[in-house]
Structure 1
Amino acid sequence: MPPGPRRLSRANRSQNDGSCSKNPPITPAIEPPILPKHFPFPNIPLESDVLFDFLMAIFAIIGMGLQFLNMYKSVWWLPQSYTQNTMNFYLIDVNLVVFIIILYLRRLYYHMGRKLISKLYSTKSEEELSSLTRYILSMFYAGIVGMSAIIILGNQQKITILYLCYPFLVYVILFGLQVRPFFETVSWCSNGIPPIHACSSNPSDIRKECELLKSNFNDRIKQICFTSAVNAYYGGFVPFCFAQPQLVFDKNWCFQHVVFIFWSSFIFSLCYMLSLRYWDITHRSVLHLGMWEKVAPGRNVILVPSEWKDDKLWPGGVLVKYEKSTWRAMGDCNSNKPGDKSLNRYYKLCIRPSHLLLLVLILHSLMILYQMIVLIKTSAWYKIISVVIMLLFNYYGMYKVLRDFLVSYSFYKPSEDSVRRRERHIQLNKTPHRKFI
């Protein structure tokens, strides 16, 4: 007979089908990811701790003086005026002014005290010297502040002590009973480890480093908010609370000035505590960390992803299974734990530093625009002086924010383009796949 196609018997066909069903498709081998390459960051001059604390204290004292000007201005230009001064100085509580200035100078006092004590006790170790310095300076400073508060409250109602002590209660809530955050800014870390980045291929070490950097980032955010709130509260709100009942002034304008002090202090603290070098450290860490996106369950989900392992680095776009869910790698190098919301937020914030700086730049520009509109519409002499001086400080803050944004945008643009291409590639690959049986 002529040769023809060979036909299998029904028994053989059923046997072959059974062997195929018993051997599901094998997941292809996953290539290890390419470790991120870091480029040297441009050398941008940074302010020293002493210079920043000095400028911040000067700004806070000037803001307090402008608030007293808004409240105690006089009509010195009138021919029959009883005073020739621009302010009614006799109505101002000098003890209150001294108390506020002492609070504003706390960090300068701490810097000077540390240098003096280090010279007197040069034989002690660095750790013993640091503890001794904090103990001596904090006790002496607490005595000065306490005596000033007692003198102020001697002529006031007892309920006013709450106005002076409220920020200290907030401090205890934020930082506990630690002394260092009250006197230090960037040199203080709640975990005692300074923010550094070490390029590692060990996923456990990468996650541990990112946890430490995330904790340090949160500490700096708390420092920024607390410093801004203290400057605005004692320089703008406390003079309003201790004003004489018969004093007449524009309350809305005074409250607006409190907002001006807070925002300017916030910008200065943000540019210093979250400097470009600090952003570079966090950005490098999240390049190693990566992020996972949960794949929604459905009919077109591939059922053969790899099991996630905590000791393995995963390349971008790979699918893994973790806790009965499927996750997709979003970074070029991924060591993060799937479903870790805290580190995911840290990744989204630090992978593109220019986005946050752009938001701050827009808000600061709106604040300057608002102050310029207020300056154009106002006619009172004390309001013009107040807005002009605050605008000068905000122009300096605008320069720093704009500089940081331009540098970060140009420096991190290749990295951001890589992230966008990765996300676009992942979106294109989200096509219906046949379900394996």
Structure 2
Amino acid sequence: MPSGRRILSRIQSNSYNSSSKGGNGSHTEDRDTNMVPLAQMAVLPKHCHLPEIPSDPNMSFEAMLYFFGVIAMGLQYINLYRTVWWLPHSHANYALNFYLIDVYLVLFLCILMSRRIVWCFVQEVYGSRSSKSVLFWVVQFLKGALLGSIALGLVYTAYMVVANHSALYCLFLSCPVITYVFLFGPSIKPLYHRCLVWPTSVCDRPRHKKEEEEVILFHNCVLTPDVIRSEVEYFKLDFNNRIKQVLFNSLLTAYYMTFVPLCFAQTHLNNPKTGCILICKKNTLYYDTWWVGQHVVVTWLSAFLMLIVHYLPPKYLDLLHRTALHLGRWQKVEGRHAHVPYNAWSELTVWPPGALVKHVKGLFKAEGINVTAEPGNGMHGRFFFLFHQPMRVVNWLLILTWLLVGYQFFCLIQSTEWNHIVCIALVLFCNYYTLFKLLRDRIILAKAYKEELSEDDR
């Protein structure tokens, strides 16, 4: 770990300066009874160096997330339309009643959920940086053809779904709009803007701007309070946007890939004379409600963990941890302390640990290596709580992943039906990869932060 620099920071009140010069009478002495000088050394926090931990590129991750959603949808259709074809008197010749599945709905959902991987391909694949190259224009033509075919396929399949089903069923397809407005408001930038849709790159120090002016996050290791608070505000907005993207996209995957097939589940009868598919009102489709509902929840949790591990990589968490060390926290001192010596809080001062300051919201005590936070600011307190311990977020995610994997493994042992076994095994296999990445990150971070954590324990 690099050694930290020590910078002198004189912490004292204006009233002490005036009284040290001789004072102006008894009125000043009475007013400054509880004001004491506090001159200490503000220590620049020591930051450990993290090794390069490999992470999935956006294109690879979007491909994995898309195929996970397609697999989850296929498993839900297995839960709905499975047969007992092995029985001697069974009329089914296949494992599924394929004629009950609405092909246009399946195609519509697959095309709709491919929007992220298609847009990622459009934004990140160039072929060549030079516009004079033939490969550059070939890739641009392929992008245009891909976007056009996706748009036409989406419109056609949506029309066929609306034509084959009632308007009430089609309302289920627009329900995620409410969730989007609740999370992001009326703006549409979170749907296409590269810095909002995918996580921004992180580096240890500022870099020169590249030709494409890529946005890169970095930490300013300074002892300037207003710079630190501005950095905390920016990182807070970035972190909130990442959490919103994780929540929205995980809910979208679970809703369209596992819940919408339930909404459109109905029995159909194939008419051999006309070749049409008619709704059969006499028959009823029976399925295990608990199992299909559980599959929706497990799919959402699995997609949530996949997304949050990608959006909160170790480098990004280390960036927030470094900022939290500079921010510190104020703990409110309860009760009456009329004769306790304190200082008037100043927004331009870096306060050492243990300092007592008087603020309009009360009396506060400094906690941390040095404190630049605003007393009584709830956002500063939450930011410090989440990130001042470097392993906190990773530990929480690891516990949640272990609980999900343990529950799925328990259900796998208890399952006897073939569709249950296939359903759990495939989703469990996807969660193993998320568990592997979290365990790898946890082991590397524990070794990197070993010295820092040992100092905190002392």
Superposition TM-score tier, normalisation by shorter sequence: 0.7 to 0.9
Q: Give the aligned partner of residue 234 of structure 1.
A: 256
Q: CA deviation at 1:275?
A: 0.7
Q: 1:86 to 1:190 in 2, by over 3 A?
A: closer
Determine which structure has more spread, i.e. the larger CA radius of gyration: 1
For residue 407 of structure 2, the aligned residue among 361, 370, 374 is: 370
* Structure 1 residues 303-382: aligned runs within 5 Å: 303-323=340-360, 325-382=362-419
Matched, 1:253 2:275: no
1 or 2, which has the higher helix percentage? Answer: 1
Structure 2 spans left out of the alignment, 5+ residues: 1-25, 133-142, 201-213, 268-283
Task: Give the length in aligned residue pairs.
Answer: 395
Q: Give the aligned partner of residue 62 of structure 1.
A: 71
Q: Give the aligned partner of residue 164 of structure 2.
A: 155
Q: 1:40 to 1:174 in 2, by over 3 A?
A: same
Q: Give the aligned partner of residue 30 of structure 1.
A: 39
Matched, 1:195 2:217: yes
Q: 1:240 to 1:284 in 2, by over 3 A?
A: same
Matched, 1:293 2:326: no
Which one is further off, 77-86 or 371-380? 77-86
Q: 1:26 to 1:42 in 2, by over 3 A?
A: same
Contact 1:331 1:419 survives alignment (8 Å): no
Q: Give the aligned partner of residue 208 of structure 2.
A: none
1:304-334 Cα shifts (integer Å, max 9, x gaps): 3111111111111111111162111101111
Contact 2:34 2:340 survives alignment (8 Å): no
Q: Give the aligned partner of residue 219 of structure 1.
A: 241
The sequence identity of aligned pairs, in percent, is 34
Q: Helix, strand or coil: the match of 2:36? A: coil
Contact 2:37 2:343 survives alignment (8 Å): no
Q: Give the aligned partner of residue 128 of structure 1.
A: none
CA distance in 2, matches of 1:400, 1:136: 36
Q: Give the aligned partner of residue 415 of structure 1.
A: 452
Q: Give the aligned partner of residue 94 of structure 2.
A: 85
Q: CA deviation at 1:82?
A: 3.5
Partner amino acid, structure 2, of 1:182: L
Contact 2:191 2:197 survives alignment (8 Å): no
CA distance in 2, matches of 1:302, 1:408: 45
Structure 1 spans left out of the alignment, 5+ residues: 1-16, 124-133, 422-437
Partner amino acid, structure 2, of 1:97: V
CA distance in 1, matches of 2:374, 2:426: 50
TM-score (normalised: structure 2)? 0.78
Contact 2:330 2:366 survives alignment (8 Å): yes
Q: Give the aligned partner of residue 311 of structure 2.
A: 273
Contact 2:189 2:196 survives alignment (8 Å): no
- For the aligned residue pairs, the C-alpha RMSD in angstroms reads 3.1
Contact 1:185 1:273 survives alignment (8 Å): no
CA distance in 2, matches of 1:208, 1:135: 41
Contact 1:189 1:216 survives alignment (8 Å): no
Q: Helix, strand or coil: the match of 2:39? A: coil
CA distance in 2, matches of 1:154, 1:19: 84
CA distance in 1, matches of 2:185, 2:27: 66
Q: 1:120 to 1:165 in 2, by over 3 A?
A: farther
1:23-67 Cα shifts (integer Å, max 9, x gaps): 847623321310112222111111100010011111111111111
CA distance in 1, matches of 2:107, 2:41: 63
CA distance in 2, matches of 1:21, 1:210: 39
Q: CA deviation at 1:141?
A: 5.8
Matched, 1:207 2:229: yes
Partner amino acid, structure 2, of 1:328: K
